[in-house]
Amino acid sequence: MSTAVRTRIAPAPSGSIHVGNARTALYNWLFARGRGGTFVLRIEDTDATRVSDAHIEGVLEDLRWLGLEWDEGPEIGGPHAPYRQSERRDAHRARAEWLLAEGWAYRDYLTTEEHEELRRRAQATREPWRFSEWVRERNESRGDEYAADARPYTIRFRVPEGRTVSFDDVVRGSVVTDTRNIADFILLRSDGTATYNLAVTIDDVEMDITHIIRGEDLMASTPRQLLLRDAMGVADVPVFAHLPLLVDSSGRPLSKRWGDVSVRNYRERGFLPEALVNYLALLGWSYDDRTNIFSLHELIQKFSLERVGRNPAAFDVAKLEWLNGHYIRARSPGDLAADLVPFCERAGFEVTSPDARVRLDAVTPLLVERLKRLDEAPEMIRFLFEEDVTPDDKARKVLDGRADYLSEVVDVLDAVEEWRTETIEEALRRLAERLELKPKKAFQPIRAAVTGTLVSPPLFESLEILGRERTLIRLRVSV
């Protein structure tokens, strides 16, 4: 095994990458980057019913959006190509046949129904190892007959009896498994495709992976993979680190069954990549009790597997929104305005013409303290980009019975000589004082008439950006 650090992420794309897989990718990437190592992307795409080229492209796009560029893998290549599991089938099949010839595996001709019968017997005796013994006996006693009938078969690994398999996990500590608790497992399906355990073991060995950092849900497969390495004569054992599960607020494993938890979903909801990366890093890892904000460069410097905890990590959207707000406020106005363009276009209005872009650039600094997500912005600023506004229900209630007041507002604003935030505010405050109106009573009807909502950027700045003519037209419509 290479002495240089080599980590990998091996998603099986069936859509956008799950945030749990993204967290795993991040930890692998940080560990490799912090030690001058290599980060490998390998695609597990043998299940053609679930994986498509579009799904694979989506995973690549999500990882790049997060800033997790790979050193070897699809579209880049490398010395251990190919990096798509479907293109490595010949190597998987050849190794399965070798294990068969060496006595480490056997052909299993039994049907699903026959396996269920034996499994029920094993469960009844409370001795799981008997399942493997019975499968072997049935195949050995009737194997020639099954072969003559051209029965389909799988290739199954012969788990050695009377052994223990142990490994030291950086997160979990020492893990010891008795082989009596490991049933003979399938290496090659009847269609000739490799199972996860065979493919991942061969690929990790051939790609010289030194550190296997993955979710704890895969820890049960580790003893099987170590048995395979031993059977293949691979002496070097990688460093294992099994990461804590991500759970929701109720403690349930974070799953698509409980909502959309894909990276693409958070992109579309207006989370910045810096915020999502920062948050994912904190899900299971911490540097100290005080620091929550980390740049990618700081994470590379500070990340270590020894600081990853064992307990499940709760995915808290409110915490993610808080972090996102921090990164929104840190964004330059020009960059933030550019970030808002696709969200505005998705909301149905155009912000890229010269005149519209001037308005967008002007209003963006007014939004930073109000935004937790970028997708909140379009409805706040729609009034600046559409000719007509229709007051929503709350705005209509505020406008009810205020026609006479708004008529006076029109007269006051029409008399403002220089249309600037300061002169607009001065004129409207003088009117409120004269009519003895508190600010909310004085300014909410103006906001409702001009923007169609009660949630918008600061009023006086908004009126300046909207312009005198359009402001007065909307006020007159409400009179």
For the annotated catalytic residues, the residue numbers are 256
CA distance 462 to 471: 10
Give the largest CA-CA distance in the chain: 104
Residue 35 to residues 227, 301, 302, 319: CA-CA distances in angstroms?
Answer: 29, 9, 11, 30
Residue 407 to residues 87, 320, 419, 475: CA-CA distances in angstroms?
Answer: 74, 45, 19, 8
CA distance 143 to 149: 10
Q: How far is CA 440 from the centre of its chain?
A: 42
- Length, in residues, of the chain: 479
Helix (H) or strand (E) holding 213: strand 211-215
| Residues 272-311 as b or e (16 or more Cβ within 10 Å = b) | bbbbbbbbbbbbbbebeeeebebebeebbebbebeebeee
The residue among 161, 182, 192, 183 whose CA lies nearest residue 97 is 192
Question: Which residues, 6 or more positions from 67, have their beta carbon under 8 angstroms from its beta carbon?
Answer: 273, 277, 296
The residue among 184, 185, 186, 180 whose CA lies nearest residue 125 is 180
CA distance 164 to 278: 40
The residue among 26, 103, 110, 106 whose CA lies nearest residue 69 is 26
* DSSP secondary structure code for residue 253 in this structure: B
**DSSP strand pairing (6-9 vs 38-41):** parallel
CA distance 453 to 377: 13
Task: Answer whether 224's CB lies under 8 Å from 198's CB.
Answer: no
With tokens 């974070």, the residue in question is 254
Residue 432 to residues 3, 249, 258, 444: CA-CA distances in angstroms?
Answer: 75, 47, 50, 12
